[in-house]
Structure 1
Amino acid sequence: MADPPHELPWSRVLEALESSSDGLSSDEVRRRREEYGENDIVEGGGRSTVDIFVAQFDSVLIWVLIVAAVLSIWAGHVVDAVLIGIIVVANGIFGFVQDYRAERSLESLRELAAPTATVRRNGDTSDVDAIALVPGDIVILRGGDVVPADARLLEETDLEVDEAALTGESVPVSKSTEPVEPETPLAERTSMVYKGTNVTRGKGVAVVTGTGMETAVGSIASELAATEETETPLQTELDQLGRTLGGGVLVLSALVAPLLILRGTDAVQAALTAVSLAVAAIPEGLPAVVTLTLALGVRRMSDENALVRRLPAVEALGGVDVICTDKTGTLTKGQMTVSRLWINDTIVDVDSERIDAAGDRDTDREELLLKIGTLCNDSTLEEGDPTEQALLEVADRRGLDLEALCDEYPRTGEVPFSSDRKWMGTVHDDVGYVKGAPEVVVDHCDRILTADGPVALTDDRRDRIKTTVREFGDDALRVLAMAYREDPADPDDLAGELTFVGLAGMIDPPREEVADAIVATERAGIEVKMVTGDNVRTASAIADELGIGTEVLEGREIERMDDEELRERVETVDVFARTSPEHKVRILQALQDRGHDVAMTGDGVNDAPALKNADIGVAMGIRGTDVARQASDMVLLDDNYATIEQAIERGRTIFDNIWKFVAYLLSANVGEVALVFIASLYGYLILPAVQLLWINLVTDGLPALALGSDPKSEGVMDRSPRDRDQGIIGREMLVMIGGMGAVTTIVLLALMFYTLEGAPAVTPRTMTLVFTGFVFLELVGLYVIRWLRETPILSNGWLTASVAVSILLHLSVLYTPLSQYFGTVPLDVTDWGLIAAVLAVCLPGYLGVAVFAKRMQD
């Protein structure tokens, strides 16, 4: 269509679609199906099993390890190559298992499709598969239906549609056949119904204007498919680390081998030394340790009701400094609830039982108000209009037996609700009950029920009712009025001479735990911003109640701003109301352009583009749509905002642990490279490749893995989020890596020269001493690094056990037949004294480096 259907009269829409109220002919339907295809959402395409597995090896660091394995085979070190291969494969398996489980736990966009639709074709009405609809089809809608396609309304009777999943609007939208302005946002296009939304009441007839990918849902799906997956800072940094190490290995190998040959070393020995340097430079255990630590975090988070789809998202949570959260179903309960009653100047706070009244509470009038809300009602507690369900829920909660009440007062007549009438009434033998819009119900009343019985409804009392309605509205409450008439002759008598009983104010209330969670996240230096499709008044009231803030920006204003203007405003705005999916993405991009790491929470289809574009997309598991879950990095299984706070705390702890073992591994590797390189300049191959691999296995294996279970540091949620540009390898870590590596190299070189006593080649005793000294120095350095991150020394039992196992394993290659494979000899008491002296010299040096690194960071 040349013009959007929401702005055209329905007759022009029919004309443009070459359709009629009798529907299309069978031949025309077949032709249009060939032209437009099926009314289906083409999935963005979850990853296949093969893709998930291959992705585990898409890392420069992994490829560097594979190259090292090839070099080891070339040099005749088959054992070394096997060890590297085992590490690479194990890393791939760990990552694959977690990613596969998360991917398979999510369903596709097809869950949104309505299975059948009632359609009028050839003048006859029948049910067909919704997938077979075409533009121009005439569909019949009734309460409880899922809208099968985007459509322009031709007829409607009291039609209301729940569009929360698409627009974020928390209450059903009353529909109309009248056209709306061209620039009207999707949430206010009352002349349209949209695929995947739910009819809550009434009925309607509409002409299909869009099917499949040409629907509002399809547009979102297209945008998701076009959005590339973004890497987390950890992924980017580890990839850069792999490139750096790979380049360093090539340079070292290219320098050392020719240099040794020039010094008279034979080519084979020179090649072995080059391979040893390559092995020393590469932290073989780093990919596996990172993967296992993240997987451990994922398992713990799953126990805490947070399902992580991508492992790196766990660590990325720790860097979030802005949370853009949806309102409906995320900050709120996602269901209408009666929170306040008004009965002739008496206000009852339903939840707290607080009473603001001129006199004592009148339970009889309060019960009558709840009784009217129950009997003048077409819904049940399980299904129906959310507003009517809220009236039933409050009556049930306050002790009324709903089933017995309906049996005692059977309905004998009714006046159905209509959008024009704005009230409904029911007759129960000798009494009639009415509920509806306050301004309309009051006009039909001439009396008001007081504690002394009905009295005249004076102008002063009418003004007080209007004032109360306005005050309820200012608090974002949706207000209904209740009235009755005794002995109505027939339902038509309900349009006058009513006795006013009171008001019920209802809202989609905040979750009880959310306010405390917001305080905790803001204490951690994380800003919370509400981004919702709801109207300004409702959004502002909820935000104010939760302590988010009161600075509001509406979607219409965003449309008038260019990107630069929006970047200026996003920092100060607390609430973004009446936003579309496009607005949400622009808001996120503006925040990211200003250097923020942004988490987006949401549950609706309308949230999906923003979820996918966010640094961390967090979807709701219970109320969330499949589209939102598919687009997210993490799913809250309990839909609880407070779970986000726990996840962020877990993310920060995991980042701390990753920081610790990256500092641990790299400081050790710097020491290894420097030691082997400097020793080779003097013609000594002090540590062959098999010993370097053993060092990395026993010190970087179990102890490094145990670091992944380190408890959180005190005050982890009291510090600001880390700088997104700083990453893991910042100034503090560089000082630790360089300082500890230098101390290790100097002391072990001194040990080497001292024990060689001028020998032309490395002796087995010297090699064993340096080999053993390196293992013990790395284990000591591990505890120094934990001390720097304020982790109690004996707080991790797994670490203590792993260190003990590592020591026993190393002793086994000194005092068992395994020594022949490592070229070691047993050490005597004098040798152990030398080891103790090395530790005594290095420990103060390590602590000095740690103190200096801490000052550099501060």
Structure 2
Amino acid sequence: MGGLGNLWYAMEMDEVLRKLKVGINGLTKKEVERRLQKYGYNELKEKKRRTALHMFLDQFKDIFMLLLIVATIFSVVIGYYETLMEPTKGIETYTDAITIGVIVILCALAGFVQEYKAEKAVEALKKLAAPEARAIRDGREVTIPAREVVPGDILILETGDHVPADARIIEAVELKTNEAVLTGESTPIKKEVTVVKEDAPISERKNMVYSGTHIVYGRGKAVVVATGMNTEFGKIAEMVQTAEEERTPLQRKLDRFASKLAKLVVGVCVLIFALEAFEVAMYGWKVEGFIQAFMSSIALAISAVPEGLPAIVTITLALGAREFAKRNAIVRRLASAETLGAVTVICSDKTGTLTKGEMTVRKIYVNDKVIEVTGVGYEPKGKFIIGNDAIKPEEDLSLLLRIGALCNNARIERNDQSNTWRVVGDPTEGALLVSAAKAGIKLEEFEKLYPRIGEVVFTSERKRMTTIHTAQEGTKVAYMKGAPEVVLERCNRVLVNGKEVKLTEKTKRKILEMNDKFANEALRVLGMAYKTLPEGIREFNEKTIEEDLVFVGLQGMIDPPREEAIEAIKTCQEAGIKTVMITGDHKLTAVAIAKEIGIMQKGNIVLTGGQLDKMAQEELEKIVENVTVYARVSPEHKLKIVNALKAKGHIVAMTGDGVNDAPAVKTADIGVAMGITGTDVTKEASDLVLTDDNFATIVKAVEQGRTIYDNIRKYARFLLACNFDELLVIGTFAILGGIFGEEMFPLPLLPAMILWINLVTDGAPAVALALDPPEKGVMKRKPRKPEEGILHGMLAFVIASFLLQSAGTFLVFALEYYVWPAHGFGTNATLNEARTAAFVQAAMFELFVVWNCRSETRSIWRMRKDAFKNKYFVISDIIGILLTLAICYIPVTQQMFHLVPLTQTDLLYIIGVSSWGFLVIPELFMKNQ
């Protein structure tokens, strides 16, 4: 799209217009059509979105999913072989394949639905930055869709307008823009027509306006030099879209776990096949024997593959993502939901995230008194306090507030739907309107009482602004606001208790000392003065208006911290998470806010953007862990900071809203975009979108991330404690059966039984684990180490569990098959009864032991009432018990799974053996804290 690749800011205006082939009357309709054909529409090319089909197919890239697909294929092969051997068998030979296949599809669907919903939610957040633009075409001012702006268009810019494209300033009348989306600096930047040096960075190109920024003050005209992807906004968007995505820590851990498990399973299966094949070879090299040996080893592999793990992980993440949404956070990538729980550093913007993003008058100095102003943000509610007492604004204070309100070009507006207030115009001027409104000064009424008839405009050189009004008595009055030292220079009197008295050097020093005191508290201070003008004055300029004024007082304002951010930072500190403030503000302001909210501690370092520029990456890495505040920082510095922290082994969350933040947001382990103030480019680069732009929401998300990881570990512990006993039991009997014969040592559990236990009996309690509430103290423990495996710290518990369960399964099978065979040793009836007993014991043991998988620090006996808080878990465990018993008595399932009814006596002793895990495991083997 449109752009001519020149240093437009370094050219004289005549040359700019000549190269763009445009005059003061703008482009003709025909020329616009030609340029639209040449440069295309003024819009960003979006990264090619994944189609719904691609999103669905991506779910199958997981290693566990691939293992399950392989298991499904082998199950089909086994089913086909059984059909060939016994043609009378029907669809039941494919039960295993169908069951695993359904699980694979359901896993993929669960992941797809959540990611699809997240993408739709982000799309709903998108706002078109500049839907319309005003331009001069064919010598007339016209309003056009912003997407139809072309290079060479002459734009008309006024306060409140969004800039639709990159353009060179032609004319500027006190024109100021907010370029925070590009530079990260929220202070309005004054624009001029003068030529800029070729090597000037974007923040210093004062004769340019950029796509995505907006006009906060003044008016002007500019000629478009770049549109669409050729704008600065577009270049960054393209860079972000081409960046590679890293796999999350959880994905990497599950990959390693799956890889190790696959190697173990393959190793055991090869061993079993080798032993059975050796036995076959000893007895005549029958082909059928080798095939049977191969099928036995494959059946063993299927029993060992954790069919439920991908489903449970996906469900846990999806349910976690739903909880995130309730807490004002949209998870764009499902696996990222867990990564938040591993975060060790949160790098946060100051303005709007740690702070309200709304300038607020905190202190006033008038009549030699300091008055505190309560209330936060733009809502016009608050009190004026001296000491501990609320006061009613007296004459001098009322005049000070009136000057701030009338010498002002901003407006405050209320959004009735969201019940929020916003400022149209300069945030500093907005703060003055709010402080006046707190005293009952209604701007509309006072503008009628004191209509403005003139203005001496503010400039960065003058550092002051004066407006002229007609008072009620017909007299004219001038109101001035500006830098306190500049205002004082123009005053010869001061207002004291309603009387004008001479401004002495002593009084002036006192006022300036108070100004310094306010400044040291990180307050932005403005001085206020007035002058009653002589009758007959007609010219309003510096000489006639801005001399011999009466000084009234000071107003000190700040962008105040969010109250909830202070508490959230305390929570981070207790959780071992470092919080880092990154801001474009001055060092003094940044440090004051950092101290107030608890980020800045003794011994911490503050770095400025200038220092970062001079520092090599290796130097930054040496000190980065001690830096808690970065001031006067541009978005480009954020990338350097993220890389330094990652190099030190940290899991980093980085917030961003501007387009230039996008590369850092993309590079961080967790990129966090602002849903309200964030640009679309940054949202696209992020893993998490905050719908309320609030730091406290990130901390809530971290807590939820930790809970998600804990719940996944609960299932992993449950999975390993139960799956390996099946591997041990089947492997042992397969080896013994190969040596001594299958009649002597038949398999105690069939593959279909194992699938039922793994997927149906255990499935409901396993899913319910995903709904377990956070453990006590989840945000009082240190973040887990990034290299720590998902199975860390659970080895003793797992080994004890599967050894006890294996012993129990061996015991009940041996009792039923060898000690008291009901229908004679070696008969099918006896074997089915023994297998039923082993099946019920294995299932019951798992339904008991799962209760002790719910905490790494407390057994069920110490959890007490907490053990029953998750009602879904309690109900699902009862359902699991009932289902296990039911299939032993339903004819259809008896036939499918080769089960028989059990007597009451059998049930009692089997449940007694199963309760070993329930009674013994917690107190002997759990990791206590």
* TM, length-normalised to structure 1: 0.93
Preserved CA contact (<8 Å) 2:366 2:396: yes
Map 1:553-568 → 2, pairs under 5 A:
553-568=607-622
Which residue pairs with 2:743 in the alignment?
none
Name the CA shift for 1:414/1:559 in 2 (closer, same or farther; >3 Å): closer
Q: Supply the AA of the counterpart residue of 2:508.
A: R
Q: 1:271 Cα deviation (Å)?
A: 4.4
SS in structure 1 of the partner of residue 494 of structure 2: strand
Residue type matched to 1:700 in 2? D
Moved more, 292-301 or 235-244: 235-244
Where does residue 307 of structure 1 map in the other structure?
Answer: 330
Matched with 1:233 is 249
1:43–1:108 contact (8 Å) kept in structure 2 = no
Instruction: Answer whether contact 1:23 1:138 (CA < 8 A) is retained.
Output: yes
Structure 2 counterpart of 1:608: 662
Q: 2:271 aligns with which of 255, 274, 287?
A: 255
Q: How far 1:442 moved relative to its partner? A: 2.1
Q: CA deviation at 1:808?
A: 0.6
Alignment of 1:820 onto 2:895: yes
> 1:50 is matched by which residue type in structure 2?
L
Match of 2:420 in 1: none
**Structure 1 residues 573-630: Cα deviation after superposition (integer angstroms, max 9, x where no partner):** 1112233332211211111111001111233323222222211122222233333222
Structure 1 residue corresponding to 2:747, chosen from 685, 688, 692:
685
Give the Cα separation in 2 of the matches to 1:848 and 1:505: 62
Equivalent position of 1:208 in the other structure: 224
Q: Counterparts of 1:608 and 1:556 in 2: how far apart (Å)?
A: 21
1:653 corresponds to 2:707: yes
Shift in Å at residue 368 of structure 1? Answer: 0.7
Identify the residue that residue 790 of structure 2 maps to in structure 1: 728
- Superposition deviation, residue 87 in structure 1: 1.1
Q: Secondary structure at the match of 1:329?
A: helix
Instruction: Name the CA distance, whole Å, in 2 between partners of 1:612 and 1:559.
Output: 21
Shift of 1:698: 3.3
**Is 2:643 the partner of 1:589?**
yes
| Conserved? CA contact 2:529–2:552, under 8 Å | yes
How many angstroms does 1:120 deviate by? 4.5
**Structure 1 pair 110–545 and aligned structure 2 pair: CA distance change class (3 A):** closer
Deviation at 1:559, TM superposition (A): 2.4
Residue number in structure 2 paired with 1:50: 53
Aligned equivalent of 1:406: 447
Tell me the residue number matched to 1:795: 869
In the alignment, which residue of structure 2 is the partner of 1:698?
A: 760
Query: Is 1:544–2:581 an aligned residue pair?
Result: no
Q: Structure 1 stretch 138-147 or stretch 512-521: which is displaced more? A: 138-147
| Equivalent position amino acid for 2:813 in 1 | M
Q: Which moved more, 1:105-114 or 1:533-542?
A: 105-114
**Structure 1 residues 206-215 or 256-265, which shifts more?**
256-265
Unaligned runs of 5+ in 1: none
- 1:279 pairs, out of 302, 306, 310, with 302
Q: Say if 2:853 is the partner of 1:785.
A: yes
User: How does 1:159-558 map onto structure 2 within 5 Å?
Assistant: 159-179=175-195, 185-264=201-280, 266-267=289-290, 269-351=292-374, 353-355=384-386, 363-382=394-413, 383-421=424-462, 422-429=464-471, 430=475, 431-451=477-497, 453-488=499-534, 489-490=537-538, 491-492=540-541, 493-549=544-600, 551-558=605-612
Query: Larger deviation: 138-147 or 325-334?
Result: 138-147
Tell me, in whole angstroms, the C-alpha distance in 2 between the residues paired with 1:8 and 1:339. 45
8 Å CA contact 1:332, 1:508 repeated in 2: yes
* Corresponding letter in the other structure for 2:850: L
SS in 2 for 1:608: helix
State the Cα distance separating 1:656 from its structure 2 match. 1.0
CA distance in 2, matches of 1:722, 1:845: 29
- Give the CA deviation at 1:813: 1.7
- Render the CA deviation track for 1:811-833: whole Å, top value 9, x for unaligned: 11222212222112222244335
Mark the CA change 1:672 to 1:360 in structure 2 (over 3 Å): closer, same or farther: closer
**Contact 1:616/1:633 (CA < 8 Å) preserved in 2?**
yes
Distance 1:841 1:516 in 2: 45
Out of 814, 817, 825, the position equivalent to 1:756 is 817
* Equivalenced residues, count: 852
Is the contact between residue 384 and residue 392 of structure 2 (CA under 8 Å) also seen in structure 1? no
Q: Name the aligned partner's letter for residue 804 of structure 2.
A: V
Please state how far the C-alpha of 1:391 moved relative to its aligned partner: 1.5
The alpha carbon displacement at 1:754 in A equals 4.3
Q: Which deviates further from its counterpart, 511-520 or 143-152?
A: 143-152
- AA aligned opposite 1:290: V
TM-score (normalizing by structure 2): 0.86
CA contact (8 A) 1:153 1:206 kept: yes
- Partners of 1:270 and 1:847 in 2: how far apart? 39
Superposed CA offset, 1:41-62 (max 9, x none)? 1112333212221122221211
Deviation at residue 13 of structure 1 after TM alignment:
5.3
The 1:464/1:193 distance shift into structure 2, 3 A limit, reads farther
Superimposed CA distance per residue, residues 327-368 of structure 1 (whole angstroms, 9 cap, x where no aligned partner): 1111111222222212143221211744379x9997221111
The alpha-carbon deviation at position 788 of structure 1 amounts to 3.2
Question: 1:170·1:334 contact (CA, 8 Å) conserved in 2?
Answer: no
Counterpart in the other structure of 1:74: 77
Q: Which moved more, 1:412-421 or 1:633-642?
A: 412-421
Closer/same/farther in 2, CA of residues 554 and 32 from structure 1, 3 Å limit: farther
Going from structure 1 to structure 2, the CA distance change for 1:99 and 1:405 (only over 3 Å counts) comes to same
1:276 and 1:689 in contact (8 A); partners too: yes
Q: 3-state SS of the aligned residue for 2:342?
A: coil
Deviations 1:314-334 (A, max 9, x none): 211110110000111111112
Which shows bigger deviation, 837-846 or 164-173?
837-846
- Is the 1:113–1:130 Cα contact (8 Å) retained in structure 2? no
Distance 1:591 1:16, change over 3 A: farther
Query: What is the distance in 2 between the residues matched to 1:736 and 1:35?
Result: 69
1:671 positional shift: 1.1
CA gap of 1:579–1:18, structure 2 versus 1, over 3 A, is farther
Q: 2:720 aligns with which of 627, 642, 666?
A: 666
The 1:635/1:360 distance shift into structure 2, 3 A limit, reads closer
SS in 1 for 2:351: coil
- In 1, Cα distance between equivalents of 2:312 and 2:352: 37
Secondary structure of 1:676 counterpart: helix
CA distance, structure 2, for counterparts of residue 637 and residue 702 of structure 1:
33
Tell me whether 1:576 sits opposite 2:630 in the alignment.
Answer: yes
Partners of 1:572 and 1:189 in 2: CA distance:
34
CA distance in 1: counterparts of 2:23 and 2:619, whole angstroms: 47
Q: Distance in 1 between matches of 2:727 and 2:447?
A: 84
Q: Distance in 1 between matches of 2:41 and 2:547?
A: 52
SS state at 2:900 partner = coil
What secondary structure does 1:729 align onto?
coil
1:717 alignment partner AA: M
1:779 Cα deviation after fit = 1.8
Cα distance in structure 2, aligned partners of 1:249 and 1:809: 29
RMSD between aligned alpha carbons?
Answer: 2.9
The amino acid of 1:301's aligned partner reads F
Report how far residue 96 of structure 1 moved.
Answer: 1.4
Contact 1:170-1:508 within 8 A present in 2 as well: no
> By how many angstroms is 1:182 displaced?
5.8
Output the CA distance in 2 between the equivalents of 1:2 and 1:98: 42
Quick one: which amino acid aligns to residue 296 of structure 1?
L
Aligned partner letter, 1:93 = L
Paired residue for 1:141, among 133, 157, 173? 157
Instruction: Pick which of 72-81 and 114-123 moved more.
Output: 114-123
Bigger shift: residues 316-325 or 337-346? 337-346
